[in-house]
Amino acid sequence: MAFRPFSPFINRKPWAAVVVTFVLAPMGGLFYLGKGALGLLYGAAYFVAAFLAALAAHYGDFDLSLKHCMMLGALTLTVVAAGHCFVAAKKAQGAVPVQWFARWYFLFVLLFAQTVIPHLMRSFLFEPFNIPSGASLPNLKVGDHLFVSKYAYGYSRYSFPVDVPVDEGRWFFTPPKRGDIAVLKLPTDPRVNYIKRIVGLPGDRIQVKGGILHINDRPVDRERVGEYTRQDSLQREPKVTPQFRETLPNGATYFILEETDQALMDNTPVYEVPAGHYFAMGDNRDRTRDSRFLQDVGYIPEENLVGRLALLYWNSETKRLLFLD
């Protein structure tokens, strides 16, 4: 007798239905058994389970990350769907109506889509990042997780999560605006992702004098708005830093921290931003390495722009969904 390894899958044996469910997710398992309406229902339930898991991570008092909660929610639904498919396949006893969405080629397309679409979304739409340091306090905190819009500035070779052998430059380029919080590839080491605020455009003259940012020889508007208090991991007492509201010439406004005790950072030479480059600074002005340090960071080539901050959604330190606070 000839060995036919795919025979159980062709005949839709119960255990084969379970395998397909775990490989193709609940929706794929139900499609495989010819149950299109139930498959769509499970597909919707998959997203509902992920959302409920996110709420559990936000409101729950347990030591699980958002990622692990969502994985647990998705796994729970998949196990339920696998049991459902096992029972359905056993009842059918191989007499499954092979509709178009249950045929192997559609299931292959579904598997391909589940594998490829997330990578396409990360490359062309939104990519997640997290904040490992306090260089952008008070606006971005340690442990913040965010989505970056990949299409905001167009695309370059640095838009892709993996190295792609493409030409230098950008396609569909939309220049960043002053005040944008952008993820960029560090010019001195493109393997490193940086997140900074764009304050200088090509041709600008940038200087910091007495701790105050100057653009094209004019001081940027700044007003004191109290103090920012945070617990420093290296100190027992909370750290209190003067907080200011800064307003750029185009009207973009945001908060910065400025201690006015760092001579080298509070009084700089004039930086003339070259064509095709940008000047980026951290909002925690005395605790950041940015374009003021030409040897470490320097001017940001437009090619090195990865994307613009689109949404803050989670903080792993406080275990909170930020858009619910």
DSSP secondary structure, 95-160, as one string: -----GGGSHHHHHHHHHHHHHHHHHHHHHTEEEEE--SSTTTTTS-TTEEEEEESSBTBB-GGGS
What pLDDT score was predicted for residue 4? 54
Indicate the angle between helix axes 14-32 and 66-92, nearest 10 degrees. 110
Tell me if 202 sits within 8 A of 277, measured CB to CB.
yes
pLDDT in tens, 228-286: 988 766 667 788 889 999 999 999 999 999 887 666 788 899 999 999 999 999 999 99
What pLDDT score was predicted for residue 232? 67
Q: How far apart are CA 88 and CA 98, in angstroms?
A: 14
Q: Which residues of 6-16 are buried (b: 16+ CB within 10 A; e: fewer)?
A: eeebeebbbeb
Residue 239 DSSP SS3: strand
Q: How far apart are CA 90 and CA 38, in angstroms?
A: 17
Ranges of each domain in the chain = 7-124, 128-324
Tell me if 15 sits within 8 A of 8, measured CB to CB.
yes
Determine the Cα angle at 122 with ends 74 and 40, to 5°: 40
CATH number for region 128-324: 2.10.109.10
Selection from 69, 72, 78 nearest residue 28 by Cα = 78
φ/ψ of residue 305, rounded to 5: -70, 130
Residue at token pair 């794929």: 28
pTM of the model: 0.84
What pLDDT score was predicted for residue 5? 56
In eight-state DSSP terms, residue 16 is H
What pLDDT score was predicted for residue 119? 86
Q: How far apart are CA 300 and CA 171, in angstroms?
A: 17
Residue at token pair 């997780």: 145
Pairing between strand 181-185 and 193-200?
Answer: antiparallel
10-residue mean pLDDT profile of the chain (325 residues): values are: 58 87 90 89 90 86 81 91 92 73 82 87 90 92 93 90 74 94 94 94 95 95 91 72 94 91 81 97 92 94 95 87 80
pLDDT in tens, 59-87: 887 777 888 888 888 899 999 999 999 99
Q: How far apart are CA 289 and CA 298, in angstroms?
A: 10
Selection from 259, 262, 261 nearest residue 243 by Cα = 259
DSSP secondary structure, 40-108, as one string: HHHHHHHHHHHHHHHHHHHH--SS--HHHHHHHHHHHHHHHHHHHHHHHHHHHTT-----GGGSHHHHH
